[in-house]
Each structure stands twice: as C-alpha cells, then as structure tokens.
C-alpha cells in the first residue's frame, strides 16, 4: 500500500502480543510452501513458536585430545532457541597444524552433528571462506550442504 510507511510507528514489543504471534505463524506457513522441508500444520507451528523478548543459548566446546591429554583440536558449537525451535552453529573449528590431515576435524564435526541430532536441532549453519578446502571437506562429509536459500550478511562498515 503506497505511503503506508509514513503513517506508522515502530516500537519494540514488551510483552506477549497475540497479533504479533499470529503474524509469525502466518509467515511460517506461507514460507514453508517454497521449500521441500516437511510441512507443519498451523497447530504445530503455534505450539513451537514462543514469541518472547529474550532467550538463552548454550556453548558446547568439543575438544580433541591426544594420548597424553593435550588439546589438539576444538570445535565450538552454539545452540540457541530464539523461540522458533533449537538451532545450532559451528562457530569455530581449529586443529593444531602438526596433526592436520589426520581426520581430527572430521571427527570433531561428526561429534558436533551427533550433538545436534541428539538435541533434535531443526537447523544448523557454518561459515567458512571459499577455498578453505579442508574445512569444506570436513563440513560436507558431516552432512552440511550449500544452502538453497539466499544468505546475506551485514557488517558494521561505513555506508552499510
């Protein structure tokens, strides 16, 4: 509707608002038609969505140790549920240079997937640079795949 943006105010939600919850249920039902994911009913979406101003998350640091107990690799997994269902992200993955190429990253990422599956996470993401072949191979082997969705990022740069 042309010009409507000039007539509105934008404010932050402070308590439960059934009109806001209804919009987000409608959004989910509308958007799921565009993907091949299993469909949810309106009732399923309503019972899953918790539209609240705050949420908490978890950090899981999976550590690979050598036979002497020294840490040689780390996979940092973040779990969070903003109210839409449990999601995960592999925030960091690092293996000490002297043991690279020995399957440590593969093992760490596969443990991360076991954690996500065990917690019934509905979605997980990971970021790496193009050309990081070892990291990409470890993620692909564990079941990550290039997304069919458009992913855009924002950085706090001038003029953005």
Ligand X SMILES: CC(C)(COP(=O)(O)OP(=O)(O)OC[C@H]1O[C@@H](n2cnc3c(N)ncnc32)[C@H](O)[C@@H]1OP(=O)(O)O)[C@@H](O)C(=O)NCCC(=O)NCCS
Interface residues with ligand X (CB under 6 A)? 93-95, 100-106, 128, 132-135, 137-138, 141
Q: Tell me whether residue 48 or residue 107 sits nearer to ligand X (CB atom).
A: 107
The CB-of-139 to ligand X minimum distance in angstroms stands at 8
Q: Tokens for 75?
A: 């996979």
Alpha carbon distances (Å) from 21 to 42, 52, 69, 86, 99? 12, 9, 49, 18, 50
The CB-of-62 to ligand X minimum distance in angstroms stands at 12
The CB-of-101 to ligand X minimum distance in angstroms stands at 5
The Cα 78–Cα 60 span in angstroms is: 6
Q: Tell me whether residue 47 or residue 132 sits nearer to ligand X (CB atom).
A: 132
Task: Please check whether residue 82 is in contact with residue 55, taking contact to mean a CB–CB distance below 8 angstroms.
Answer: yes
Q: Tell me whether residue 53 or residue 102 sits nearer to ligand X (CB atom).
A: 102
Indicate the residue whose CB is closest to ligand X: 105
Considering only CA atoms, which of 84, 113, 99, 97 is closest in space to residue 24? Answer: 84
Q: Tell me whether residue 106 or residue 119 sits nearer to ligand X (CB atom).
A: 106
The CB-of-149 to ligand X minimum distance in angstroms stands at 19
Task: Please check whether residue 109 is in contact with residue 128, taking contact to mean a CB–CB distance below 8 angstroms.
Answer: no
Q: Tell me whether residue 108 or residue 121 sits nearer to ligand X (CB atom).
A: 108
The CB-of-55 to ligand X minimum distance in angstroms stands at 25
Alpha carbon distances (Å) from 148 to 34, 87, 152? 11, 17, 13
- Three-class secondary structure of residue 26 per DSSP: helix
């Amino acid at each position: 509707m042309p010009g409507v943006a000039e007539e509105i105010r934008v404010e932050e939600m402070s308590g439960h608002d059934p009109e806001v919850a209804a919009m987000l249920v409608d959004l989910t039902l509308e958007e799921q038609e565009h993907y091949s994911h299993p469909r949810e009913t309106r009732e399923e979406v309503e019972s899953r969505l918790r539209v609240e101003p705050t949420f908490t998350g978890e950090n899981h640091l999976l550590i690979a140790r050598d036979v002497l107990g020294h840490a040689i690799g780390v996979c940092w997994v973040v779990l969070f549920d903003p109210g839409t269902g449990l999601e995960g992200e592999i925030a960091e993955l690092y293996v000490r240079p002297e043991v690279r190429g020995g399957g440590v990253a593969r093992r760490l990422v596969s443990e991360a997937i076991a954690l996500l599956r065990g917690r019934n996470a509905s979605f997980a993401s990971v970021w790496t640079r193009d050309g990081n072949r070892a990291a990409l191979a470890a993620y692909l082997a564990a079941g990550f795949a290039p997304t069919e969705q458009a992913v855009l990022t924002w950085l706090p740069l001038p003029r953005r």
